[in-house]
Structure 1
């Protein structure tokens, strides 16, 4: 571990307060590269509808997806009283009104489900209203949460897995369902780090805390594997230093390299851990969705080929009118305390933490070339 680099984390003393003060839903990613034999051909990378593929050539065809984590994958679990994701202008692009997603539209879960040819799994909190959709799996992710408790009083990843285990105990899903047909997605976008700093965690101890976060993530991955999961995808931490909550300090001009060094440590430890898990389980049960590289690639090239360009990729579409407000804020008179850009499709970031639907589509398109080899 690069403990010798801990002094670089001194920057966190200055920017720490920016992390997760309003962490209604944060972020997650992983570092990890496989070299693969197949190439998937998509005639039209722009079309959400064309993102399905022929699966009959592969041994593993997931028909269910079980999702755990935070706002990068949450599709509506947070309580309406607590989360901006249930306020205007969230959901502006899709479905046209707030749906509990921390974006103007679709998020990573929706694109991965489409890739598998599935409907996006129903949020756990709404499962009793959509029993006909349980065959697609369930989304247990809550915006703002982490592997440990955060500043958001919603179920952490351990509790989310408890919910899933309870459904197995009640025979809502069988072990055969899990072993043969299910993809598990674990998302960790950084809320643990925001909470650590908000709760007075010291700069010197950040490397040790990063280690504890990755270790707990590994415990969670092993646990779902023991419950029968044969394919477990975990996100690499995205470049936190590129989120607008960090780049606002320089008018959204450049990423914060110091914060991204901390992210590098998280991702390298995760990569080592996943390699070890795969050695122990024989095969590629555990895979990393490398959001770090995908975000960086899209931000650097201001989009993906054949898609909308993000001319100012670090600048969010929806922003509070001052640092007292955030996207979705209203004052006591019911007036909007935020501004929204003219075209969310031209923005990579929706708010100070989360991508737009167009941003997620670009990230997904960047990931897509490796998804077939990693997941199917």
Structure 2
């Protein structure tokens, strides 16, 4: 009898995994946010210029990195193809969902003249009204939202200091929460919002430590931001009476992935420094992918982009996103599975 029960206990996790796979397979993925999720909406950006896309698909294709990004790995987890960017909706099928994310944008208006989160949701609502997606399409879909980092960059560049940042964090998360509620009102039953990444680990900041360490002071903003997000999501689920909203922990997955790479490098000094960008500007004022008036490159690219954690000064490389995804993978079944 004991042996039989043990067999059942062994088979139960397998049964749950198969059930979850059956639930999410074929689900549509609707994507909102910024460059961490954008797979081709920002048509006139560096993401469509060399050396972006050199690892995958082998040419610049609108991703802010050398290859696959978080959206690609989430789609793969759902066993679907990466959703079509909204900007390319007329030239592709929309059966896997659609990606509204636009690099450089945010919850509010940022320095990039692109559709912020509200405008992206407007486009989603329009497609629903046009019956491009049915009520059942939307109800059974997974929605992923990643926004906020560009808003904080805009705030800091505008104010040149962090005075008033606490008030700004609250107003930003409150507006983000309004957007999440609106997506739910359009019929979405599974909405995942990303926690903000540890900005103190981005090469544009960690350069201050010569890429030796994350600058923890700069991680106070995402920590405070994430604390309010978590509370708001809990409140939203209480209001709706069910777990419609979940969070994707980019903050700790980033940190854990970087720490693993740093630990491996301590044991083998020939490994790539995870905090150092692969594609780096030659001097201030330039960025990866930029050329001068004579077409001369104003950036350098590392020898092995496929091994780098960060591609440029703010975006993970394909290897980085894969490492982050592996940190998230064990929780994804709970986040977007049958027990959502």
Per the TM superposition, whether the score is higher than 0.5 is yes
| 2:124 counterpart of 1:164 | yes
Match of 1:301 among 239, 260, 263: 260
For the 8 Å contact 1:39–1:369, the answer to whether it is kept is: no
| CA distance 1:291–1:275, shift in 2 (3 Å) | same
Matched, 1:78 2:42: yes
Could you tell me how far apart the structure 2 residues matched to 1:160 and 1:303 are? 37
- Following superposition, the deviation at residue 282 of structure 1 comes to 2.3
Q: Aligned in 2, Cα 1:229/1:76: closer, same or farther, shift over 3 Å?
A: same
- What secondary structure sits across from 2:94 in the alignment? helix
CA contact (8 A) 1:304 1:362 kept: no
Distance 1:54 1:117 in 2: 13
Q: Tell me the alpha carbon deviations over residues 254-298 of structure 1, each in whole angstroms, 9 at most, x when there is no partner.
A: 111111011110000101111111112223211111000000001
Deviation per CA, 1:308-334: give whole Å up to 9, x if none.
Answer: 996311001000111121111111111
Q: Secondary structure at the match of 2:159?
A: coil
Say if 2:232 is the partner of 1:273: yes
CA distance in 2, matches of 1:75, 1:365: 20
**Mapped contact 1:244–1:314 kept (Cα < 8 A):** yes
Aligned residues: 321
Q: 1:222 aligns with which of 174, 181, 190?
A: 181
CA distance in 2, matches of 1:200, 1:40: 53
Three-state SS of the structure 1 residue aligned to 2:180 is helix
- Does residue 287 of structure 2 align to residue 326 of structure 1? yes
Q: Contact 2:83 / 2:97 at 8 angstroms: preserved in 1?
A: yes
Structure 1 stretches (4+) deviating beyond 6 angstroms? 38-41
Once the two structures are TM-superposed, the CA of residue 55 in structure 1 deviates from its matched residue by 5.0
Cα separation, 2, equivalents of 1:339 and 1:369:
36
Structure 1 residue aligned with 2:100: 140
Q: 1:229 to 1:129 in 2, by over 3 A?
A: same
Partner Cα separation in structure 2 for residue 187 and residue 310 of structure 1: 30
2:61, 2:316 → 1: CA distance? 16
Aligned-pair CA distance for 1:335: 1.2
Equivalent pair of 1:68/1:140 in contact (CA under 8 Å): yes
Shift of 1:248: 1.4
TM-score (norm 1): 0.81
Give deviations 1:112-171, integer Å, cap 9, x for gaps.
Answer: 0000001100000000011xx211110000000000000000000000000000011111
Which residue is 1:123 aligned to?
85
Contact 1:55/1:61 (8 A) holds in 2: no
| 1:338 has 2:290 as partner | no
Partner of residue 164 from structure 2, selected from 189, 195, 205:
205
Q: 5+ residue gaps in structure 2?
A: 1-11
Change (3 A) 1:329 1:176: same
The alignment yields a C-alpha RMSD, in angstroms, of: 2.1
Residues 303, 362 of structure 1: 8 Å contact kept? no
Higher relative contact order (CA 8 A, sep 6+): 1
Return the alpha-carbon distance in structure 1 between the equivalents of residues 43 and 21 of structure 2: 41
- Give 1:345 shift: 2.1
More helix by share: 2
Unmatched segments (≥5 aa) in structure 1: 1-37, 42-52
Instruction: Report deviation, 1:198.
Output: 1.8
The corresponding residue for 2:220 is: 261
Distance in 1, matches of 2:53 and 2:315, equals 13
Q: Structure 2 matches for 1:340-359, cutoff 5 A? A: 340-359=301-320
**Residue number in structure 2 paired with 1:311:** 272
**What SS does the aligned partner of 1:266 have?**
helix
**Corresponding residue of 2:190:** 231
